Amino acid sequence: MTGGLSQSGTIGNGFLAERMAHIGSGMQFKHKTSETLFAYWDKVRGNRGTPRRFEIDPGKIASILPSTFILERFDSETFRFRLAGTLVCDMFGAELRGTNFLSGWSQQDRISLVRHLGALSKQGAVEIIHMEAAPVARPSTPFEMVLLPLRHTGENIDRVLGAFAALDAPQWLGVLPLTCKRIISQELTWPSGLQATSGAGETGADVPVLLHDHGRIVRSERRQFRVFEGGLGRSDGDKV
């Protein structure tokens, strides 16, 4: 999750077998932190595709604030941490501010993240990531991450509100820094069924090309979501 992390340790399999909990929007979360942050973001945005950064009140999410972060988009492959909660920094054993969210992943996972973040920043998609991470010489543990689009002062989506939480917290978590990570699955949804552009001035050159045909529509009482399953789950015991 941060630049300079050594890519050592072996990631195992066998996590994420439990059934995901469903919340009213049709989104699927396994951790209360993700559910809480999404529910707050969804309330703030109202009937719009994306809320603005200044509308996010940290006091309203105080209970989960240490597990949250904000990214700033510079280009399609640079999403820098502007803020990162203490729990997130402790888990990686580093101050994440100023580092690139896309650093430290395997090449395959990074390519997938770039494409999914392209959908988030160009089309207002919401991203759910299930992943494994581990310190050196320790077994991996499962995590859930949610990434939510924000607009700052203009019309472009150039901020990302996120949360990172362990689904199973071993005793070493927060003491031994996570040094390797691997994506198990990713899911994109478009709130209200919209695939919005991020501003008339954008060329759209880095808009992902894979996200248009096989979406699953999820409806709640007032809203509709288009869901695309994705991910790079592997069972070959790769080191990342």
* CATH value at residue 190: 3.30.450.20
Q: Which residue's entry shows tokens 């402790």?
A: 90
Q: Would 12 be classed as within a structural domain?
A: no
Give the model's pLDDT for residue 27. Answer: 65
Give the model's pLDDT for residue 226. Answer: 47
- With 0-12 / 13-18 / 19 or more C-beta atoms within 10 angstroms meaning exposed / middle / buried, residue 14 is exposed
Q: Would 122 be classed as within a structural domain?
A: yes
Q: Would 174 be classed as within a structural domain?
A: yes
Q: Would 236 be classed as within a structural domain?
A: no
What tokens appear for 213 in the block?
A: 């045909």
Number of domains within the chain:
1
Q: Would 47 be classed as within a structural domain?
A: yes
Please tell me whether residue 21 adopts helix, strand or coil conformation.
strand
Strands (E), the chain: 21-22, 28-29, 68-75, 78-84, 126-134, 141-151, 157-166, 180-190, 216-219, 224-230
Q: Would 200 be classed as within a structural domain?
A: yes
Q: Would 140 be classed as within a structural domain?
A: yes
- Cα–Cα distance, 165 to 188 (Å, whole number): 18
Q: Would 235 be classed as within a structural domain?
A: no
Give the model's pLDDT for residue 194. Answer: 55
**Over its length of 240 residues, how does the chain's per-residue pLDDT go in tens digits?**
433 333 334 444 333 333 233 333 456 799 999 999 999 999 999 988 899 999 999 999 999 999 999 999 999 999 999 999 999 999 999 999 999 999 999 999 999 999 999 999 999 999 999 999 999 989 999 999 999 999 998 899 999 999 999 999 899 999 999 999 999 999 998 876 555 443 333 333 333 333 333 344 343 334 444 444 444 444 343 332
- Cα–Cα distance, 206 to 215 (Å, whole number): 20
Q: What burial letters (b/e) apply to 131-151, b meaning 16+ CB within 10 Å?
A: bbbbbeebebbbbbbbbbbbb
- Range(s) of the domain holding residue 62: 32-230
Q: What is the pTM of this model?
A: 0.74
State phi, psi for 120 to the nearest 5 degrees.
Answer: -65, -50
Give the model's pLDDT for residue 217. Answer: 38
